[in-house]
Amino acid sequence: MFKEILQIVPRIDSSGLSKMESTLGSRFKKIAKGFGKGLLGAVAGGGWLGIATTVIDKLLNPLKEVQDSIDKTLSGADDVVTNAEQFNSTPGELFKLQKMAQAKGLDAESLNNLIMKFQGAVAEAAQDPNKQTSVRAFANDTNMVQSFFEFIKSMNTMDRNKQVTVQQEVFGEKQTLKMAEFMRADFAALSQQLGVKNATSYNPGLEKLGALNDLSAALKAKRELGDMNTKSGIINSGMITARDAADKLELKKENERIANYKNLQSITDTSNKILGLLEQALFKFGELINFLIPSVNKLIGQIEKISKSGWVRGIFGGGK
């Protein structure tokens, strides 16, 4: 309708279109050329080194994680084997008990400490047959893991006051919540929940890993024995002097920063004030946005409605 009345028909002639295409093409070429030079400069000025370092990091980090995992596994297994020997038990028995304790939030070290205290109380009972003690029934036992397990299960049949008395007698103190929770656990249900197997099934793997940890420790000691003479021939007084100079430079920088503490604090305080003002301004801007959103949404709706009308399409040659 408006096209017939106003005769408004926007057009771009072929010469104008060619000029626009040429201008845009020239600008894009200029941008691409500058970007290419910058990229080339980055690569030539150390970019390849950065890329190589990144690739090496990607390769070495997983290897380090794997090595750390191996070391942790070997060390953990060796600790189980060593403590099992201390308690005259098998690695599998101690490992099972540690995993049940872990399920109740009690770590292996804390459990081992409890067993050691129990072992000490049993040794005292065995030494003095006339001493009245809560562990008297276990005085002739040798396997402390089994005996400790039976002892804490028997504690579950006592009332709470008696439990506290026995805990203080055997362990020397009232236990923490995690220890108390473990001691009051339903071990039959917990074993079923965890899918615990027979202790003997864990022995071969733990003993193998423990032996490998011993081998690793021995090889490390051997390396360090041989390396001592090598390093003694390399390290010299010049290195120590150079390091001393570097340390002095660091101390000088540190002292300069301390001497300028007041100025640094002033800069920090000013920066914090500026950030605070910007934050307040941002909050105010947010309030303004929230205030304007209904009006803006209404305006957008009206624009969309107008843009879909027939007379607007007529102005731009899209309708009849």
Written as six digits, the tokens of 91 are 């690695």
pLDDT band at 150 (very low <50, low <70, confident <90, very high): very high
Contact between 144 and 94 under an 8 Å Cβ cutoff? The reply is no
**pLDDT (tens digit, 9 = 90+) per residue, 11-60?**
555 565 556 556 655 655 665 556 555 545 554 555 555 566 666 666 55
For 271-309, the pLDDT digits (tens) are 888 888 888 887 777 777 777 777 767 777 777 776 666
Alpha carbons 98 and 105: distance in angstroms, whole number: 10
Burial (Cβ within 10 Å: 0-12, 13-18, ≥19) of residue 92 = buried
Mean pLDDT within 196-219: 95
Assess whether pLDDT exceeds 50 at residue 8. no
For residue 243, CA distances in Å to 237, 238, 246 come to: 10, 8, 5
User: Contact, 118 vs 147, CB < 8 A?
Assistant: yes
- Nearest one of 152, 214, 82, 154 to 94, comparing CA atoms: 82
pLDDT score for 258: 85
Encode 104-119: b = buried (16+ Cβ within 10 Å), e = exposed.
Answer: bebebebbbebbbebb
Q: What is the mean pLDDT of the chain?
A: 80
Extract the tokens encoding 273: 């004030």
- In this predicted structure, the answer to whether residue 127 has a pLDDT above a threshold of 60 is yes
Contact 114, 167 (CB under 8 A): no
Quick one: pLDDT at residue 303?
73
Sketch the domain layout of the chain as residue ranges.
Answer: 75-211, 264-315
In the numeric block, the tokens 């304007």 are attached to 292
pLDDT score, position 59: 59
Output Rg (C-alpha) for the chain, integer angstroms: 39
Contact of 319 with 313, CB cutoff 8 Å:
yes
